[in-house]
Each structure stands twice: as structure tokens, then as C-alpha cells.
């Protein structure tokens, strides 16, 4: 059955992008509710001091490449957050906050981590910290076109 493998994938993707300790590896993966569409992992990340949006985007590009190279149909992208200056009400793009979207097709096998996986995770950890992570189930009609 492909559901346990998918739930393992989802648990790994929902976890912060950091190496797991042996104690964390020993714990059971959470059971996600059934989804009749596609899952989405939505993260809010803060760019760390000394890093930049461009460096963060290099991590996103490396993650996209990893999934594509390993045959996964996942859709992954990032966007800069728009912030409003409280004094002037002017809006601009944040230089220290990004959001990422990771759409996951149900039934994917659990990804096997390798050196390229470790490399994109390292890029993320060098450029950002995850502030929030949300998991969603989108109806199939709202899924990215490439996943329908």
C-alpha cells in the first residue's frame, strides 16, 4: 500500500529542514488525514543575518532540482513577503522573510536522502530559519496543473 510510504514522505517534509537526531529517527511518523487532492507544505522562513534572498533562492533551486532529478512530480517555489511600512504605509518586498510552497502528489514513495539532499538542506540552514510550517490538503481542482 502506498499510503504509509506517502505519510513518511509527508512527515519528513513537514519537519524542519535540519538533520534528524537518532532519537528523532526512532520516533513514529505522524499519521496524516486522507487527502483527495494534493498536499501542500507552506513554510514561512526568516532570512538569517548575513544571508540574502538570492542565497535562499539558491536553496529553493537546489531542492527543485533534487526532486526533478529523482523523478518526483512535486511543485516547489518561493515568494517574497510584502511588508507595509507602519509610518508611510508604503509596501515593499521583505529582505528577510520568504514563504515556500511544496505541493506533493499522493502516493509518492519516501525520498531517499543522498548527498544532493543534504546539500540543499544545508543551503536552507545556512540562509534561513523556519518560523512556521503548515500542511494543507488542496482539492485536486486547485492543484498545480502539472499534478492533475
The CA distance from 49 to 136, in Å, is 30
Say what the pLDDT of residue 26 is: 38
What does the alpha-carbon distance between residue 115 and residue 70 come to, in Å, rounded to a whole number?
A: 13
Whole-model pTM: value is: 0.77
H or E element, residue 26: helix 22-26
Burial tier of 60 (Cβ tally within 10 Å: 0-12, 13-18, 19+) = buried
> What contacts 24+ positions apart, CB below 8 Å, involve 87-90?
none
Q: Domain count of the chain?
A: 1
Residue 11 is predicted with a pLDDT of: 40
For 89, counting Cβ atoms within 10 Å of its Cβ (0-12 exposed, 13-18 middle, 19+ buried), the class is exposed
Nearest Cα neighbor of 135 from 40, 11, 8, 34 is 40
* pLDDT over 90 at 110, yes or no: no
What's the pLDDT score for residue 31? 66
Q: Which domain holds residue 26?
A: 3-147
User: What angle do the packed helices 53-69 and 115-127 form, to 10 degrees?
Assistant: 160
Please provide the size of the chain in residues: 148
Cell numbers describing residue 2: 502506498
Q: How far apart (Å, rounded) are the C-alpha atoms in residues 112 and 56?
A: 23
- For the chain, the 3-state helix, strand and coil shares in percent, each to the nearest 5, are 35, 30, 30
Whether 114 shows a pLDDT value over 50: the answer reads yes
User: Stretch 103-126: mean pLDDT, rounded?
Assistant: 89
List the CATH number of the domain containing 115.
Answer: 3.30.70.100
Amino acid at each position: 500500500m502506498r499510503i504509509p510510504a506517502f505519510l513518511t514522505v509527508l512527515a519528513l517534509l513537514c519537519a524542519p529542514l535540519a538533520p534528524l537526531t537518532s532519537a528523532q529517527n526512532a520516533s513514529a511518523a505522524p499519521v496524516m488525514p486522507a487527502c483527495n487532492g494534493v498536499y501542500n507544505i507552506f513554510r514561512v522562513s526568516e532570512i538569517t543575518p548575513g544571508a540574502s534572498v538570492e542565497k535562499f533562492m539558491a536553496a529553493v533551486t537546489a531542492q527543485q532540482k533534487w526532486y526533478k532529478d529523482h523523478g518526483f512530480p512535486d511543485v516547489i517555489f518561493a515568494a517574497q513577503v510584502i511588508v507595509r511600512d507602519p509610518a508611510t504605509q508604503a509596501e515593499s518586498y521583505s529582505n528577510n522573510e520568504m514563504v515556500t510552497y511544496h505541493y506533493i502528489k499522493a502516493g509518492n514513495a519516501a525520498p531517499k536522502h543522498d548527498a544532493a539532499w543534504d546539500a540543499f538542506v544545508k543551503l536552507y540552514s545556512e540562509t534561513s530559519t523556519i518560523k512556521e510550517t503548515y500542511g494543507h490538503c488542496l482539492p485536486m481542482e486547485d492543484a498545480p496543473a502539472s499534478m492533475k
